[in-house]
Amino acid sequence: MNFRRLKAVARKEILHVVRDPRSLASAVAIPLTMLLIFGYALSLDVDKIPTMVFDLDRTPQSQNLVRIFQGSRYFNVIETVQSYKPIEKAMDARRALVAVVIPNDYARNIQSGQTAQVQLLLDGSDSNTASIAQGYAEAVVQGYGARIRLAAQTMRAGNVPQGGVGTQVRVWYNPDMVSRNFIVPGLIAVIMMIITANLSSLTIAREWENGTMEQLLSTPVRPAELALGKLSAYFLVGITDMIICLLVGVFLFDVPFKGSLTLLMVSSCVFLLGALCTGILISSAFRSQLIAYQMGTLTSFLPGFLLSGFIYSINSMPRVIQVISLFVPARYFINISKGIFLKGIGLNILWPDFLLLLGYGALMFFFTARKLRQKVA
């Protein structure tokens, strides 16, 4: 490999990026925009659930239950109604997700030691949120019912019963259970995958469309030098995007960063190498920029969002999809990013993911150089 030829190709590609301010601006603006939109708009926290209450009992016990719902951060009691009709209209208009119906024998059943039931009505069109809301509501009702029943038993028996079994919950790594802390580290990997793959997927196809690829192939530049020279410019763009995302995540969104910055940057460089080589491989396979861009989007956007564990848990997917996700490199970088950000763990635990990223980068570079060698031949 000749460093002089490599430097010449790299300089040519850097000049091309610099002289195209729209592409350069989009390469920086798009990641920042995505990070801001996802950081502010996308939230997996289920709280302030719009709730309606229909109290048929109207006793102090039922009113206390209503006040517990009103004081919970998970529920937002928007209205107290006198019939089922307003509940039906509110759910049809998506103004309410949960309705709590307290029957007229609620307090009497609790005080007599019988089973007191509360009806929960949920809008199942949003099944994920509805199932979480159901769990929250059942916990509120059962907890309050247990306290009322214990108080009634104490009054009848005249003594305080012995304490039972309690639980003490401690959440590690994300104690406030803020979804932003989970989303932003994964979003950094997805942004890097999308931007770098899409940008580099145009580089060879553009040369063919502009008629300059033949001139480039007539030079003594070798395929490996051509690949490394072309990806060097987009490597700088990718590192710039990475730094921007890191600064925004830590200082704007207050995502905790507990691990090694050096390990994160090294892992980012390895991941960028594989993503850029993937884009150049796609670009060398198609001579049309439109087709190359579409293929770059197909191989980066969809796997990065759906099969990397960014939002959806891979363990809950069908077995076939889990096997397919093993070939998505963003999955391993997301594991590294979240481990460094939230857990502060190092290479002693993350080495399998790091080695897989290294293998991915080396394999993509090999296939890219081989494909370019075929073009030269």
The 10s digit of each residue's pLDDT in 167-199 is 566 777 777 777 788 888 888 888 888 777 777
Write the pLDDT tens digit of every residue in 330-374. Answer: 899 999 998 999 888 989 999 999 999 999 999 988 888 887 776
Amino acid type, 341: F
- Which CATH number describes the domain made up of 49-157? 3.40.1710.10
CB 107 within 8 A of CB 60: yes
CB 323 within 8 A of CB 216: no
Write the pLDDT tens digit of every residue in 154-170. Answer: 666 655 555 545 456 67
What pTM value is reported for the model? 0.76
Write the pLDDT tens digit of every residue in 3-31. Answer: 777 777 778 777 777 777 776 777 777 77
DSSP 8-state code for residue 94: T
Report which of 238, 227, 202 is spatially closest to residue 367, judged by C-alpha positions: 227
Domain ranges of the chain: 25-43+178-376, 49-157
In DSSP terms, 55 is beta-bridged to 102
67: region left, alpha or beta (phi > 0 left; psi from -120 to 50 alpha): alpha
The predicted structure's pLDDT at residue 152:
66
Confidence class of residue 377 from pLDDT cuts 50, 70 and 90?
very low
